[in-house]
Amino acid sequence: MTTSFASRAQLMLQLSRLLLLTLIASITAWTLWFPPTAIENPVTIWLFQTLPLACFLPGIFRGKPRTHIWLCFFVLVYFCSGVSQATSPYYGTIGLIQSLLTMALFSSAMMYVRWNGKSRKEEG
């Protein structure tokens, strides 16, 4: 049983949307549950972490392959952050979750671009 590249691309598009929203939600929850020290403003830190990801939302929800490609590059910063947090004794679980989310988001965005390109070649 084979599925077309277009249906695979649609599945990865939906997964990318869900994972991007989940990553933003997990960063929001992390900022609320573990607020930074008293001298740091949690709203500023939250905006600094989530605003760059939110900039990708319009392109991801429109299904633009170029936005997915740039998201793949950009999400590596969040992966590195998650790995460094995962080695911390206090934030290990949160860092592991962020690392896994970013790996899944990277993979789904990359596969969307690949399968979307192949489905366009099949059509044309």
SS3 category, 63: coil
Quick one: pLDDT at residue 123? Answer: 76
pTM over 0.75: yes
C-alpha span between 66 and 101 (Å, rounded): 21
Give the pLDDT confidence of 51-83 residue by residue, as tens digits: 999 999 999 999 999 999 999 999 999 999 999
Q: Above pLDDT 70, what percent of the chain?
A: 94
* Contact by Cβ (8 Å): 104, 49: no
Which residues, 6+ apart, have CB-to-CB distance to 59 below 8 Å? 66, 67, 68
Side-chain half-sphere exposure of 124, counting CA atoms within 13 A: 6
Under the banding of pLDDT at 50, 70 and 90, the label for residue 120 is confident
- At residue 82, what is the residue type? G
Mean pLDDT in residue range 43-54: 91
Mean per-residue pLDDT of the chain? 90
